[in-house]
Structure 1
Amino acid sequence: MITKIIFFTNDDEFITEEEALKSSKYTKHIWVNKALKKEEIYREQQLWGGVYYLSPEENLAEVLIALNPKLNWTIKDNKQIINGYTVWDCKFYDNLEQASTYSKIVLDPDENKIANIIYDGLTHQVKGGVKFYKFGNKPIPWGNPDDVFDEDSDILFIFGEDGEVDAVHVSDFLFSNDFTYSASQFFRAAGNFFEQMGLSDDEIYYYTHAEPLVPNFEHNKEVVIISFFDQFNQVVTEKEALDLDRFSKQIRMGNVLKKEEEYKDQQLLGGTYYLYPEENIIEALTSLNSSLQWKIMSNKQMVNGYEVWESRIYTDLEAGPTYSKVVLDRDGNEVAIIDYDRVSHEAESGMKVYNYSHKPIPWSDSEDVFNEDSDIRFLLIKEGRVGDVGTVFVSDFYIFGDDVCYDALKFFSLAGDFFEKLGVSDEELHYYTHFEPLVPHF
């Protein structure tokens, strides 16, 4: 039996044991063999009660006595998987006495709680409860293509004994300056919000009624969102795109970027496809029109907080002689693109991008800052002039002269203490001017 103990604040933030022992409120999670077994709730360093996950082979009375029956305990048992959702029965005990009500909790496949419905212990009729509609990180229907809701955005529906909505709590100021509404106030203010979010009638009914307990629709149904961009990556309407010589079409499944199609003179040239683990590369290429050139992004990893993708170019189902690794920061900006030989896996060429957008201009006495898209692109080659750098592109031509493209030696002679003034450490500068490491440590 392998036991692991983790401590959390009252807001579910991870803390160390030392920090917990100095806190007035915290929770202690006890894991046994990779399964959460018990949650102990502490107030002023005293055990107040908690939650116990009862296995089928365990005896309830023995467990309650072992837990300290004078405290308040919730016993979760009878775990079931229904329609892909996890359902727990929750019974409440105080001094070995079971409460007159019990509840059922529903978790989605991502372990998010979406329902907690309370039932009468004798009649098993609904006594109240809540359901959560979570829309964190989903695209904002009325915003720009990249605008998404905050990670924790949700709507909490609170039910009365009749199973109908009594009140609604909204995490964001979506419809007014209020968080909490009566049922009539909410539905009047919400308008067609749920339709805009792509919810079906079944989904809307589920969240706004206590029953059914478990959804009968698929979790995270994918909503297809299509956006158009001109050759300068500015958002345009579909009508405007069709009047352009060149444009790109971006296709998202929910908030996940899936495909970027490139068009010239209204003809599809190819584009970029984001391949996920459950997909087959040959099936994906065949569905894309394999005679065109496609960049396949796959094997996504998170390293030091950065996204790392592998990128391969395919034409007629054949991969090119090289592949790339692409590193994106938390805002989706390119930090590095390194090309490798497909056989030797040695770095052949590449680019690293130092972004200094909105940073204060060191030589300005005012509060002037650099432009939004200000960056320096270091083009890397096997036999670089400075480090692995062969050529440097600077987005702002006025910084070092009248050019935007420099030989590496000339660039660094002109740059002087520019990086030092911007607070770039030696470690950071080494990163941008060399193939390795691929992912920043800073």
Structure 2
Amino acid sequence: MPEADIHDYQSFERLADNPRVQAVYIVLPNGMHKEFTLRAAKIGKHVLCEKPMANSVADCQAMVDAMKRADRKLMIAYRSQYEPMDRMIAKMVKDSQLGPLREFIAGNSQNVGDPAQWRLNKALAGGGALPDIGLYCLNAARFLSGEEPQEVIAIVYRPESDPRFVEVEASVHFILRFPSGLTATCVSSYASHESRFFRLQGAQGWAEMDPAFGYNGLRLRHGTLRDGKSAITEVQIDPQNQFAREIDHMSVCVKDDIVPHTPGEEGLQDQRIIEAIYESARTGRAIRLAAPAVPTRGFDPQMECSEKFCDSREHPIWTIGQFLGRHGHCVDISAKKRLYPLPVGIASEGDDSCALPATADGSGSTATLKRPCSASLSSHKPDSCQARDVNRRASSVRLAWGRPAPGRQRQFNAGRSVHVTGRGSPRVERVPARCRFCAKGSRVHSARL
């Protein structure tokens, strides 16, 4: 690595002279997050900051304000919101598969060791179990339900005889009440054997992860009614690198000037609730919570099961070729928020044939699609927000159902905009939508069945 790319905390400001570094990842003790976020803003760098965001609401607000003044991105590293199983449950809730939500129960505990570690120092950590691991329960309740709590009541416990907990609490119990009637009961401890789980209960189904919140070994089960009978399903997926997923999202946000899925406002809202939990424990009464004044989440990250994409950047998140080549199996076209199989086609310049034989049912058959080919997804810029009519001219492309073969994905013409409907006879359509980036009129061109 070139010496110019090696930096330390004392020479942090030297990053201003290094254009190769566009963003910094702050993984310091909680009480130092504000200082280094403000220093990063001053030298014009984007920030990915670990959770909890800071030790106080005032510090969180200062971080948000500084990054806005610098016109830089601030993203809080809520890795669970980028984890596929958590996102599956959030989608089940959005699709009303569980029915009206009734209860959320969560626990996150571990037995901390060295009394001298910074996590037990209030100035550095801001608190004990609550801001460190209890935050997972709190944020999961908000993220999975899609609601903001309106009231909280809590108790904290600090054993006087335990030298580890001179400055911070050992455990916390809190109950959140949401506008829909959902209640979230959460417990977190620094003095209990390791346990990480949550269960979301609805009127027509439930979903649980046990273990949850970890880096690996996660397990998702859900139960729903099918034909009047209860059916339990266990979901198994390949291990995922949550850190890579959130860093990939941060990179896309910087590259394409997109609001991160978990911006500073998300961390700020959690800190408001954390302070209310401590106030409730101190006063012994329930604390009312105000709804956030601004949205706390940005656009959904592009995942293996990407929910939507829009042709509203000069360099979009994915051109259609990039999307098909990288994902090739699902996308949502509109506000229905449902995932569908996606037909994957590979065509080289001037060649409308598809070389993929695989199909969803293994039959090997292909479908014919009319493809608009006179414009690209990059025709729409956010400043003018005027999408070009991409349906001027069409040519046929043969598509196969399934993923592109390794090494073939680069053959697809980047920038082709297609919209598929109907399993029997795919056709090109234009779907009016709202631009995700500037809220003006635009058109989304993607694929569904």
- Which structure has the highest strand share of the two? 1
Greater RCO structure (CA 8 Å; 6+ sep): 2
TM-score, with structure 1 as normaliser = 0.30
TM-score, with structure 2 as normaliser = 0.30
Greater CA radius of gyration, 1 or 2?
1
- Which structure has the highest helix share of the two? 2
